[in-house]
Structure 1
Amino acid sequence: MKFFRNILLAVLTLLLVSGLGGYFYMRKKFEPAANQLVVEGLPTDFHFEWHAGGTQPANPRASLLIPVTLPGCPRTCYMQFDTGSPSTLLYANSLAALRKKYPATAQRLLPHSDTIHNFTCTLGQATLQARWLRALQYGASELPTDSTVHFIIGTLGADVLDGRALVLNYAQQRFSLNAQLPDSLARHTAFVPLSYEGRRVLLQAQVQGKPQQLLFDSGSSAFALLTSQATWQQMAQPQAPVQTTASNSMGRKLTTYTTATAQAVQLNNLTVPLGTVTYVEGTSLMQNTLMRFSGMGGMLGNAPFSQRTIVLDVRGGRFGLVQ
């Protein structure tokens, strides 16, 4: 009897140690590299652009684009603002096209392996610098002949928010980055707690009357709430039509299923109707595991705030909706 009890204790101990080891492994796996961005010259305030495409059928607000200017390049370029990405990234194909058209950029925009060193650009009145940024084999390999067409050179990630406060006015398409949130604006804003652990913007809200931790993902411009298929089925309006959309995320083919919902997100004392709810097929095992380990109830996109102004006050640990 004692022999079998000892075996059982040994097995339970092994399972416990394995579970803890797996937890710390996954936590380490999801930790982003150290933040390389330095932002000087704040506050900055400028007009952002919506970019159509990325899905079939095309969505006029598929991406939220930030205009940037580069040394030696007379053309305005753009970066997709994506808080779902913890680190800012550059697109090697797009940089190659710039080097070919504008030789003055060659020294600054030439990757070494998959890395750009000593990168700099301007965001409105501010200057963004990084000792190094990853350059993915992605982006357009040719510059469009029409200079008014958006030419996207990378992704501006959540690292630009580190220790700062962002005000996104969707109705007027204004992007305002501040060292700290002005008191005059804070007095007219309803806040909920915001976590920035691992440079992921997680906010506390209520969905279906239950507390939820939602990832605010500005890269999910076309969707209100991305969630699991099971939750999607609970939230969908009965007999509502389902829109199936094919899209591409960094070369990975995704299929989304969107339908109408009467549910809303509750932020403090404010109710924000969702309108639609979506689930996605084709995500990677790593993304699915992140969802499970983080405890996230879903990803909240730009769509619910299309006529509102939101505040991402990382410095103050709060997410706000301006009243």
Structure 2
Amino acid sequence: MIHSLFYLSRPVLTGIIVIFFFYTPPCRAQAEATPPAGRLILPSGIHTVPLQWYGDSVLARWEPHAALLLPVKFPHCPEQFYMQFDLGATYSMFYSQPLKEIQLAYPLAVQLKDSAAILPDGCFTTGSMPVRVTEMPVRQSGLPAEDRYGCRIIGTIGADLVENKVVVIDYPQMTLCIGDSMPAGIRARITLSDFIFSGRRILLPARIRDKKTLLYFDTGSSAYELISNEATCRLLATPGGTSQQYQVNSWGKMITAHTLPTGDSITIASQKLPIRQVTYMTGMHHTQVEQMMKLGIGGMTGNKLFLHSVLVLDTRRRKMGIAFP
């Protein structure tokens, strides 16, 4: 999951990457198996929210798609803030230090008690869509509300935003459409397929080299097109291609990422999506990876795979589709 400079559940920008899919500690996996009740209350109808890319130095180079952000504003506060759009997080949260700074400058905008781990009640808008908040978790963070690029990231919006909703992520147009029904015009452009939405986790049925598998989908992951096991990556890799190796941080343990060039593709919802790089990790225990593979989960993907497409997810009916501009 790719995150901002704030300490989230899975921090990563500025070269520190946490790979949740394969390497989450068992105790944390159990804790998130049953996510808390949704704390975001959305209005009825269909709403379109602008998206924004956050760029940063990742893997020793500039990555323009390091994270996907949603604009956020509070009542009685003219300032513009952002929250990371991270469907790999099962619930949304604010960060404590930015919230304290907002409350100090605009007392009517946020009502947060000292050292509180919960924001009991509140509201904000993302784009023009109003969102009510009830008992929103507040992650303790000593970092200020503004990073070195002047982008004020104050929290994470997770999969509770899309639960029981139809979501259209239009990557080329950089918009997020969310509502109770599918927007007019999009249905005729897609072939509906089944997908899994369980415990607020998104698993996309995929075909890799004519083999059926499931891919864990995470909008908090932007640095990789496909993370899988070594055997799959070497199968897909371009013969003679040079492997890039670098250290990443997984829950305090340094592991090695190996990224290989490829000219292959992944088929999802009857659409063939090209991939340029595949990645596998070494230096960790293989038990959890083996368990995932036995369950038919063959890897993780994120925003990079869909940069030139429109992804439609109906989490209530468990139907999905992919369209192209």
TM-score, length-scaled by structure 2: 0.80
Residue in structure 1 matched with residue 90 of structure 2 by the alignment: 86
Deviations 1:146-173 (A, max 9, x none): 8xx3211111111111111111111111
Shift of 1:236: 1.9
SS in 2 for 1:233: helix
> Cα–Cα, structure 1 residues 47 and 286, in superposed 2: closer, same or farther, change >3 Å?
farther
2:304 is the counterpart of 1:300: no
SS in 1 for 2:56: coil
In percent, how many aligned pairs have the same letter?
A: 29
Residue in structure 1 matched with residue 75 of structure 2 by the alignment: 71
> Cα–Cα, structure 1 residues 266 and 142, in superposed 2: closer, same or farther, change >3 Å?
closer
Q: Which runs of 5+ in 1 are unaligned?
A: 1-22
Shift of 1:26: 7.0
Q: Give the whole-Å Cα distance in 1 for the aligned partners of 2:44 and 2:285.
A: 38
The alignment of Structure 1 onto Structure 2 pairs a total of residues equal to: 297
Residue in structure 2 matched with residue 34 of structure 1 by the alignment: 37
Q: Which runs of 5+ in 2 are unaligned?
A: 1-25
* Equivalent in 35, 58, 72 of residue 55 of structure 1: 58
Residue in structure 1 matched with residue 136 of structure 2 by the alignment: 133
> Cα–Cα, structure 1 residues 141 and 28, in superposed 2: closer, same or farther, change >3 Å?
closer
Residue in structure 2 matched with residue 266 of structure 1 by the alignment: 267
Deviations 1:205-238 (A, max 9, x none): 1112111111111111121111223322332222
Q: Give the whole-Å Cα distance in 2 for the aligned partners of 1:279 and 1:222.
A: 13
2:231 is the counterpart of 1:227: no
Shift of 1:28: 7.0
SS in 1 for 2:300: strand
Does the 8 A contact of 1:90 with 1:136 survive in 2? yes
2:174 is the counterpart of 1:173: yes
Greater C-alpha Rg = 1
Paired residue type of 2:315: V
Q: 1:58-207, aligned counterparts within 5 Å?
A: 58-107=62-111, 109-110=112-113, 113-138=116-141, 140-143=143-146, 149-207=150-208
Structural RMSD (CA): 3.1
Q: Give the whole-Å Cα distance in 2 for the aligned partners of 1:145 and 1:223.
A: 24
Q: Give the whole-Å Cα distance in 2 for the aligned partners of 1:313 and 1:271.
A: 20
Does the 8 A contact of 2:263 with 2:274 survive in 1? yes
Does the 8 A contact of 1:43 with 1:126 survive in 2? no
Q: Give the whole-Å Cα distance in 2 for the aligned partners of 1:277 and 1:283.
A: 18
Does the 8 A contact of 2:269 with 2:322 survive in 1? no
